[in-house]
Amino acid sequence: MEKKTYSQINFDFSDPSSNREEPAVGVRIKALKTAGPDPVEPTGPEEQETPVKHAAAARNEGVKKSTRGRKSLKALDAAADLVNIPDDATLFQRQYYSIGEVATMFGVNQSLLRFWENEFDIIQPRKNRKGDRHFRPVDIRNLELIYDLLRRRKLTIEGAKEFLRKNKQARERFEMIQSLQQVKDFLLEIKASL
């Protein structure tokens, strides 16, 4: 038969100025072990009450944080720098890339790429009869621009659409910024080696 563990939480709101050995304000957890449906009182010193600093720590102890839902802004900032798009020479060696390969390059879900395809007109992957999407290197460069607008510059979808509508040379500016960033990184490496 399986042993069950029960926890009992006692709240002590006594005066902190009293000279008792117990903590004045806090939470105590008392573990009760059972061999069956009836709880058995703890008898050994290892089964005595354990003081806990915060009630939240008691609730979250052993609880795995959920990976579902939206990521925090810190996590998005950290992930924005982890885009692994090859340079143009390597990228243009192949005509098409599958949606899985492109999702891996950007570190996003395939569903997000399909959503961006529906929202932005500049992304037009080829589809075969089965409906599989095959992204051209030009589409990957356009996705890189959209990724930059949404994840690095923190624009909304509507803001990114408006930016692309108003700035027809946005792609050229983006490429210029990237080349300047590469020059800056190169100069910083030289400075560090001196």
| Residues 103 and 182 occupy one common structural domain | yes
Closest CA to 108 of 77, 140, 80: 80
Mean pLDDT, the chain, rounded, equals 75
Q: Taking residues 4-11, what's their average pLDDT?
A: 68
Asked whether residue 112 is domain-assigned, the answer is yes
| Residues 104 and 175 occupy one common structural domain | yes
Contact 147, 166 (CB under 8 A): no
pLDDT at 134 over 90: yes
pLDDT at 25 over 90: no
**Cα-based angle 152, 116, 136 (whole degrees, multiple of 5):** 95
Asked whether residue 65 is domain-assigned, the answer is no
Token representation of residue 44: 């050994």
| Residues 78 and 56 occupy one common structural domain | no
| Residues 101 and 175 occupy one common structural domain | yes
pLDDT of residue 111: 92
| Residues 91 and 185 occupy one common structural domain | yes
Asked whether residue 66 is domain-assigned, the answer is no
CATH number for position 100: 1.10.1660.10
| Residues 56 and 103 occupy one common structural domain | no
pLDDT of residue 99: 92
| Residues 44 and 107 occupy one common structural domain | no
pLDDT of residue 24: 47
pLDDT of residue 114: 92
Asked whether residue 188 is domain-assigned, the answer is yes
By residue range, what is the domain housing residue 56? 4-60
Encode pLDDT of 49-99 as tens digits.
555 455 555 555 655 666 677 777 677 666 666 677 887 788 888 899 999
| Residues 56 and 81 occupy one common structural domain | no
Q: Which residue has the higher pLDDT, 123 or 54?
A: 123
| Residues 13 and 94 occupy one common structural domain | no
Say what percent of the chain tops pLDDT 70.
Answer: 59
Total domains in the chain come to 2
pLDDT of residue 29: 47
Q: Taking residues 184-191, what's their average pLDDT?
A: 90
pLDDT of residue 34: 45
